[in-house]
Amino acid sequence: MSLTPYQQLEDRFRRLLSLRDAEAMLHWDMATMMPAGGARSRGDQLATLKAVQHGILTEPETEFLLQAALDNDVDDGPEAANLREMQRMWGRATALSEDLVVALAKSRSACETIWRKARAEDDFALVLPHLEKFLSLLRQAAGATAEKLDLSPYDALLDEYEPGGRTREIDRLFGELQSFLPGYLSRALERQSGGPPALKPKGPFAAGKQRALGVRLMKILGFDFEHGRLDESLHPFCGGTPDDIRITTRYDGDDFTQALMAVLHETGHALYDRGLPKAWRGQPAGEARSMGVHESQSLLIEMQVCRSPEFLAYAAPLMAAAFDGAGPAWETENLLRLYTWVEPGLIRVEADEITYPAHVVLRYNLEKAMLAGDLEAADLPAAWNEEMRRFLGLTPANDRLGCLQDIHWFDGAWGYFPTYTLGAIMAAQLFEAAQNAVPGIWRAISKGDFAPLLSWLRENVHSQGSLLTSRELLIRATGRPLDTEAYKRHLQRRYLS
Amino acid sequence: MSLTPYQQLEDRFRRLLSLRDAEAMLHWDMATMMPAGGARSRGDQLATLKAVQHGILTEPETEFLLQAALDNDVDDGPEAANLREMQRMWGRATALSEDLVVALAKSRSACETIWRKARAEDDFALVLPHLEKFLSLLRQAAGATAEKLDLSPYDALLDEYEPGGRTREIDRLFGELQSFLPGYLSRALERQSGGPPALKPKGPFAAGKQRALGVRLMKILGFDFEHGRLDESLHPFCGGTPDDIRITTRYDGDDFTQALMAVLHETGHALYDRGLPKAWRGQPAGEARSMGVHESQSLLIEMQVCRSPEFLAYAAPLMAAAFDGAGPAWETENLLRLYTWVEPGLIRVEADEITYPAHVVLRYNLEKAMLAGDLEAADLPAAWNEEMRRFLGLTPANDRLGCLQDIHWFDGAWGYFPTYTLGAIMAAQLFEAAQNAVPGIWRAISKGDFAPLLSWLRENVHSQGSLLTSRELLIRATGRPLDTEAYKRHLQRRYLS
């Protein structure tokens, strides 16, 4: 009995995504376990896996099967969604020649390696030629993808991370944010200055104890250690695969609060991955919807839930018990102040909820200008500093605290930054809908019971995988497309009232 | 400028071996890090990587390039050796249909899973149908490979692990062993009974301290932690790749001696991998020669060197210091007795140097008989027990202590067992040659200086990769093909004089 074209495609994409799973595990190992001397051979392994995947997508047989499945096989239902995602992957892969794919990968890898040195030595000139070379290849790739997908070059990049994401929509949302955030910031700072300062619990905090507390809260949130691990890496992340999720954090002996919140943030990502539809494992429709939706799940857990008074009332005693802490710094009120402290700063990853979008909008504007050729890479430091003054009234003392701070541009992730703020806005809208749908949700959270929340997220977000578009998912879960209303209400409630 | 057929083959095999490296890392992760729930998706990843490799080897283009390179390109030198190894891999891969490869992989995986349960519950009948099914597929595969390579079916299997290895040669070597080992055993036991018993140092021994001691001795032996790690797994092994070597051990809180010796054994494997020729990385000629040669390197370090009075005189004070040990159990003489204690037993992995070959010969005879159809899988337990009585005078109380003890047959490794004893014989012959070539070698070892030994091994074994055949390698390094003379002299010196 012969397989239909659609069934043959399922086999083909199962193989493809299995190779991507292998790649994900090797990335995790590189960040957590690999000795430095393994870097070069690991680079070869990852490049080969990429090339094999590109080869599977660009084989003429893949195009033939896609066309045949579209013509005959599949009209509707989840198979149609799966086929749509297959086409998406195929379209992006075939837009680029293998030569360009390889040139991009090599240029990105060289640029990222030099960036580490340039950042450490605060020497933008060192990385500039590599950034220029990468940018020129990226413009080619964005142009080719744009032509193939009938998008603008920036949207062609954005679409990789945020399928269906468009500049027009982001400009609208970011415009809304810019209309109210500066006012919110002034009011929040004023309100904050009327209260006591936030006290930092005094260490030292042994890594083993920090880890044990993290694991305890991960379990409470619903992380399944039969299908995942917690390890350490330079930058926290969530990697691996839906059945074997690897999250990481980094422990600071003087401050447990950051590593712990990173664990909770990554647990949000992990819950999403774990909840992806089992029936669609190994198929494009079973994958996470977008980076924006992914970030919405981590920020929903971190920002909406874990920095709330309700959660902290539950968690503060656990924190104190974990480190034998006592005194005013360990009281719920103080930990809440600490975890919701607002202060404009130079570093994105340390930013609070109100100023974080400014960091993103700044990068979004600059990367669009660079891609379009309106801003040359050589002029980036000056432009960065000017925008930083305009947005947050601060001037970086050096490029380390400025345009060299993030890995993204140097590692090839262009069109990625907006997804952080899309995620923040989505998190607020989704969590508001969850609160409306599940009346006892806060009471449960305040007792350390995450089942009602998780159950709502499983049904409305996680189990949808990529079966719906982001827009469909939002409308189905919240009754409307993405807007900033819930986000505004959240900030008002938390910081202004 | 177009590439020659040979150069195209180098590209093709670089890609192939890079996928095999990826596979090796994922195997390591599976044994050391992976949560139980990751097993199924990991199985998919590994199967896909295997299928992609099989696909690269069996593409018509590979055969075409091999033929073109043989006809025109490459006559002599290391490229000819590389081409020979390419042909070898191609020949083995193309002997089997993809259907048979997949059926074997699935059957092996099922059989191994059930074996774990069968062993735990001492229930041979549970695994028997799976073993029978696997054996029937294996006979097909061995037959097809035998026909393609013009070998007997058993040699076709053996040749995978020991390229060029032949039953005829193994029968000769094992025959020699059987002519003198029983006599050696009686004399060693008699001599041993005239001395004091071996005392076991008293624990508990914290895993952290055991690990620190292992790391210390690994560094002394020459293990490069820039290119490797030490971790824990159920069974010790050496995995990873030459630039990123992962060795493992398992700590017993009541007995540090076993885990430590396992670390030293695996370090022997690791030194070999690390010393493989850098100029041939990613090419078949740059790979380890065979499982026999690999085992010779671990046994040379473990059996020849680390269980010697010279090494233990150096290491005993380090062991005592690591655990604050004092008293007769910690004296060099006692640790030497403990590490060279002779006692016939039922379990292969616990066997001493004199009785170990009996465990191997028993398995070799049985697996040959089963492959040939002279022994049915159902009759294995009885045959095992009979042979065990004949070889070592012992009767297993159950199959857990008998034919269920080893994973190999249930995990598909048929034709593998002989390489343990080939390795032991090779280790003696190579180390004798090293002693003759480097006069101060023992004095250096007794001071913890492994540089003279390592330098000889690097030049004569490690850096040869697969550029020579095993036979050529032995003759070049020791002046003659493999025989049991050096092994006999080693046993006589250590156990009988």
* A233-271 pLDDT tens trace: 988 999 999 999 999 999 999 999 999 999 999 999 999
pLDDT of amino acid B1? 62
How close is the nearest chain B Cα to the Cα of A201, in Å? 30
Q: What chain B residue is nearest to A44 in terms of C-alpha separation?
A: B18
* Rg (chain B; Cα; Å): 23
Mutate to test the interface with A, among B243, B274, B276, B283 (most CBs of A within 10 A): B243
CB-based contact, B33 to chain A, within 8 Å: yes
pTM over 0.90, yes/no: yes
| A390-405: average pLDDT | 96
How close is the nearest chain A Cα to the Cα of B122, in Å? 27
* Rg (chain A; Cα; Å): 23
Nearest CB to B244 within list A35, A243, A282: A35
Residue A313 CA: distances (Å) to CA of A309, A320, A482: 6, 12, 31
Cβ separation A35–B281 shorter than 8 A: no
Nearest CB to A33 within list B44, B52, B229: B229
pLDDT of amino acid A494? 97
With 80 as the cut, is the pLDDT of residue A73 above it? no
Cβ separation A40–B226 shorter than 8 A: no
Distance CA(A24)–CA(A30), nearest Å, equals: 10
Closest Cα to residue B86, out of B104, B106, B105, B65?
Answer: B65
Cβ separation B244–A44 shorter than 8 A: no
Cβ separation B29–A25 shorter than 8 A: yes
pLDDT in tens, chain B (497 residues): 689 999 999 999 999 999 999 999 999 999 999 999 998 899 889 989 999 999 999 999 999 999 999 988 677 889 999 999 999 999 999 999 888 988 898 888 889 889 989 999 999 999 999 999 999 999 999 999 999 999 999 999 999 999 999 999 999 999 999 999 999 999 999 999 999 999 999 999 999 999 999 999 999 999 999 999 999 998 899 999 999 999 999 999 999 999 999 999 999 999 999 999 999 999 999 999 999 999 999 999 999 999 999 999 999 999 999 999 999 999 999 999 999 999 999 999 999 999 999 999 999 999 999 999 999 999 999 999 999 999 999 999 999 999 999 999 999 999 999 999 999 999 999 999 999 999 999 999 999 999 999 999 999 999 999 999 999 999 999 999 999 999 999 999 999 98
* Stretch among A77-91, A98-112, A155-169 having the lowest mean pLDDT: A98-112
User: Which residues lie closer than 8 Å to A234 by C-beta, 6 or more apart?
Assistant: A31, A250
pLDDT of amino acid A1? 62
Q: What chain B residue is nearest to A56 in terms of C-alpha separation?
A: B52
With 90 as the cut, is the pLDDT of residue A464 above it? yes
Show residues of chain B in contact with A48, CB under 8 Å: 15, 18-19, 22
**Residue B415 near residue B372 (C-beta atoms within 8 A):** no
**Residue A274 near residue A245 (C-beta atoms within 8 A):** yes
Cβ separation A45–B226 shorter than 8 A: no
How close is the nearest chain B Cα to the Cα of A19, in Å? 6
pLDDT of amino acid B359? 98
Cβ separation A22–B225 shorter than 8 A: no
Cβ separation A227–B42 shorter than 8 A: no
Closest Cα to residue B474, out of B312, B290, B339?
Answer: B290
Nearest CB to A22 within list B26, B36, B241: B26
With 90 as the cut, is the pLDDT of residue A303 above it? yes
Mutate to test the interface with B, among A45, A226, A227, A276 (most CBs of B within 10 A): A45
pLDDT of amino acid B3? 92
Show residues of chain B in contact with A42, CB under 8 Å: 244
How close is the nearest chain A Cα to the Cα of B45, in Å? 5
**Residue B267 near residue B223 (C-beta atoms within 8 A):** yes
Strands A244-249 and B228-232: unpaired
Residue B201 CA: distances (Å) to CA of A52, B318, B330: 54, 14, 7
Cβ separation B244–A52 shorter than 8 A: no
Nearest CB to A25 within list B26, B229, B241: B26
Q: Which residue, chain included where needed, has tokens 């933008």?
A: A124
End-to-end Cα distance, chain B: 67
Q: How high is the ipTM of this complex?
A: 0.94
Distance CA(B123)–CA(B129), nearest Å, equals: 12
Strands across the sheet with B238-241, in order?
B228-232, B244-249, B238-241
A230: β partners: A247
Supply A74's token pair: 């599949």
| A349-371: average pLDDT | 97
CB-based contact, B41 to chain A, within 8 Å: yes
Catalytic residue among B85, B266, B310, B353: B266
Distance CA(A479)–CA(B388), nearest Å, equals: 74
| A33-43: average pLDDT | 92
Distance CA(A354)–CA(A365), nearest Å, equals: 19
Give per-residue pLDDT as tens, A412-428.
999 999 999 999 999 99
DSSP H or E segment with residue A240: strand A238-241
**Residue B177 near residue B361 (C-beta atoms within 8 A):** yes
**A287 annotated active-site:** no
How close is the nearest chain A Cα to the Cα of B29, in Å? 8
Q: Which residue, chain included where needed, has tokens 């003198």?
A: B180
pLDDT of amino acid A239? 97
Show residues of chain A in contact with B242, CB under 8 Å: 41
With 70 as the cut, is the pLDDT of residue A454 above it? yes
Q: What chain A residue is nearest to B52 in terms of C-alpha separation?
A: A52
Nearest CB to B49 within list A22, A51, A241: A22
Show residues of chain A in contact with B15, CB under 8 Å: 48, 51-52
Chains A, B: CB pairs < 8 Å: 108
Show residues of chain A in contact with B33, CB under 8 Å: 33, 229
How close is the nearest chain B Cα to the Cα of A103, in Å? 17
Q: What share of chain A is helix, strand, coil (3-state, %, to 5)?
A: 70, 5, 25
pLDDT of amino acid A108? 86
Interface of B with A in 45-84 (CB under 8 A): 45, 47-49, 51-52
**Residue A115 near residue A404 (C-beta atoms within 8 A):** yes
Provide the residue type at A316 as one letter. A
Note the maximum CA span of chain B.
76
A231: β partners: A248
| A66-85: average pLDDT | 89
Provide the residue type at B44 as one letter. D
Q: What chain B residue is nearest to A42 in terms of C-alpha separation?
A: B22
Q: Which residue, chain included where needed, has tokens 């790739």?
A: A141
Supply A409's token pair: 């541009």
**Residue B400 near residue B422 (C-beta atoms within 8 A):** no
Cβ separation B45–A19 shorter than 8 A: yes
Nearest CB to B18 within list A19, A48, A227: A48
Show residues of chain A in contact with B241, CB under 8 Å: 38, 41
Burial degree of A193 (CB within 10 A; 0-12, 13-18, 19+)? exposed
